[in-house]
């Protein structure tokens, strides 16, 4: 049987007006590096080998949709979660999301939703094993737009 794995490259189409905020968050706050920039896109490296291509265009702001359970959320890791959490929140560039989970969830400029976890943290709960927060069937009205969107079933 053929196999599939996630790669180390991602791209997202974002509103052109978010470019400065995206650069500040991903480079100044999260420590990323712009590998290449041109008028229509930025290629940013996070860590040693994860790359995000931000494609800037005249697209509508879909931030509200991206905060719902209908979008993909990304996980970022830090060796100092408390320090990085403060740095992210104090940057003023993100919107903190209320999720029934002990981690920091936030929305970055451009609309991407992220969860911050520790590099060496036991995340087996998110793999279907181990103990963790009981969010089964829990509605989170702070970031879901309709009452029929559940975090887990």
97-118 residue pLDDT tens:
988 889 999 999 988 889 999 9
Query: How many other C-beta atoms are found inside a 10 Å radius of the C-beta of residue 28?
Result: 12
Higher pLDDT, 122 or 136: 122
- Assess whether pLDDT exceeds 70 at residue 5: yes
Tokens 């029934």 found at: 100
Neighbours of 34 (CB within 10 A): 13
pLDDT at 136: 43
Which position has the higher pLDDT, 149 or 21? 21
Query: Which of the two residues, 29 and 151, has the higher pLDDT score?
Result: 29
- Is residue 133 very low, low, confident or very high in pLDDT (cuts 50, 70, 90)? low
Instruction: Provide the 3-class DSSP secondary structure of residue 68.
Output: coil
Alpha-helix runs per DSSP H in 1-152: 19-23, 63-66, 81-90
Asked if residue 90 has pLDDT above 90, the reply is: yes
Mean pLDDT calculated for residue range 76-85:
95
> pLDDT over 90 for what percent of the chain?
58
**pLDDT attached to residue 32:** 97
- Give the pLDDT confidence score for residue 68 in this predicted structure: 66
């Amino acid at each position: 049987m053929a196999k599939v794995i996630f790669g180390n490259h991602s791209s997202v189409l974002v509103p052109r007006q978010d470019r400065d905020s995206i650069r500040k968050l991903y480079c100044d706050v999260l420590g990323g590096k712009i590998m290449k920039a041109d008028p229509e896109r930025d290629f940013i490296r996070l860590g040693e080998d994860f790359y995000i291509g931000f494609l800037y265009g005249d697209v509508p702001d879909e931030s509200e949709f991206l905060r719902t359970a209908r979008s993909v959320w990304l996980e970022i890791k830090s060796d100092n979660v408390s320090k990085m959490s403060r740095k992210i929140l104090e940057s003023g560039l993100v919107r903190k999301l209320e999720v029934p989970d002990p981690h920091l969830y936030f929305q970055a400029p451009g609309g991407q939703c992220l969860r911050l976890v520790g590099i060496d943290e036991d995340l087996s709960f998110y793999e279907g094993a181990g103990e963790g927060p009981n969010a089964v069937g829990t509605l989170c009205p702070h970031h879901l737009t309709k009452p029929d969107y559940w975090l887990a079933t």
